[in-house]
Amino acid sequence: RDQLRDRLRIAIQKSGRLSEPALALLAAAGLSWQESRDKLFYYGESLPIDLLLVRDDDIPGLIADGVCDLGFVGRNVLVEQDYERQSRGEAPAFRELRGLGFGRCKLMFGIPDDWEWDPQAQLPGTRIATSYPALLSRWLAERNIEASVVTMSGSVELAPRLGQAELVCDLVSSGATLASNRLKPVEVVLDSEAVLAGPAGAIADARAGIAELLMRRLDGVLKLRD
Ligand code: ATP
Ligand code: ZN
């Protein structure tokens, strides 16, 4: 299903934390575009590169299916979906090509304010609420800790107050959300930022050269930024 195409297609988040910085980075790399009426596609004008605007969670799958060649997505989402595929016995379908330096956050344990962090003693038998079950399960398995993973799609930090879990494993940037629910961040499971994701294998046909040009330009912009 790797259709022959002579334009590169990049998936970015339609609306959310990564949208503006992704578009700003692409503009700094010299892209300009025209929006489609329904804002699904942004058609590239200066280069043969089109943008597809989607939910961030859909980006790894779009790359896996060959619908998009590249994507801008949080490492947290990319690694979670990679581990999910691995646990189903599927071959790797996408990989991180570059860290992009924006959208920084950490996947961390959040425990009740009055707990001392001692995972080996504390975690067995507990319920841990998270939106990242594959990442959390791997962290637990690597340490031989048996705890229940409670998967939630949002508002994970409310789970302890609602009695659904004793602690959480959630994305943290300032820690304010955890603090307002009487939780404290204690251990980093994954250090995250937005990344440029691509297929596990090579990009085919004329798109390979366009992707290389884009990556050289992105590297140039990122170098000037730090
Ligand atoms: P979508 O509608 O696209 O599914 P979303 O609600 O999943 O949106 P956002 O909340 O916009 O997504 O977060 C997108 C990404 O921003 C996260 O996956 C993560 O990589 C990054 N991020 C940075 N800081 C935070 C934070 N404090 N909380 C959550 N995500 C953060
Ligand atoms: Zn999402």
- Per-residue pLDDT of 194-208, as tens digits, reads 999 999 999 988 999
Q: What is the predicted pLDDT for the residue at 78?
A: 99
One domain for residues 45 and 56: yes
CATH number at residue 99: 3.40.190.10
Q: What is the predicted pLDDT for the residue at 5?
A: 80
Q: How far is CA 220 from CA 217, 224, 226, in A?
A: 5, 6, 11
- Pocket perturbation via mutation, ligand 1, pick of 12, 14, 17, 107 by most ligand atoms within 8 A of CB: 17
- Pocket perturbation via mutation, ligand 1, pick of 12, 52, 56, 178 by most ligand atoms within 8 A of CB: 56
pLDDT in tens, 22-51: 999 999 999 999 999 988 999 999 999 999
Number of domains in the chain: 2
Q: Domain of residue 116: give its range.
A: 105-192
* Average pLDDT value for residue range 85-95: 97
One domain for residues 182 and 209: no
Residues framing ligand 1 (Cβ under 6 A): 13, 16-18, 55-57, 74, 76-77, 103, 105, 171, 173, 192
Q: What is the predicted pLDDT for the residue at 176?
A: 95
Q: What percent of the chain has pLDDT over 70?
A: 98
One domain for residues 124 and 159: yes
- Ligand 2 centroid to 17 CA: how many Å? 10
Of the pLDDT bands very low, low, confident and very high (cuts 50, 70, 90), residue 226 is confident
Q: How far apart are CA 101 and CA 21, in angstroms?
A: 10
Question: Whose CA is closest to 92, among 18, 197, 1?
Answer: 197
As beta bridge partners, residue 10 has 51, 70
Residue 1 resides in a domain: no
As beta bridge partners, residue 50 has 9
The predicted model scores a pTM of: 0.96
Tokens of 9: 């297609």
One domain for residues 204 and 120: no
Q: Whose CA is nearest to atom 28 of ligand 1?
A: 171
Q: What is the predicted pLDDT for the residue at 3?
A: 57
pLDDT in tens, 142-152: 999 999 999 99
Q: What is the predicted pLDDT for the residue at 4?
A: 66
One domain for residues 143 and 221: no
Q: How far apart are CA 179 and CA 118, in angstroms?
A: 19
Average pLDDT value for the chain: 96
* Average pLDDT value for residue range 67-94: 98
Phi-psi region of 43 (alpha: psi -120 to 50; beta: other; left: phi over 0): beta
ipTM of the complex: 0.98
One domain for residues 111 and 210: no
One domain for residues 53 and 120: no
Which residues lie below 8 Å from residue 100, measured CB to CB, with a gap of 6+? 21, 22, 25, 72, 193, 194, 195, 196, 218, 222
One domain for residues 89 and 165: no
Q: What is the predicted pLDDT for the residue at 204?
A: 81
Residue 2 resides in a domain: no
pLDDT in tens, 92-141: 999 999 999 999 999 999 999 999 999 999 999 999 999 999 999 999 99
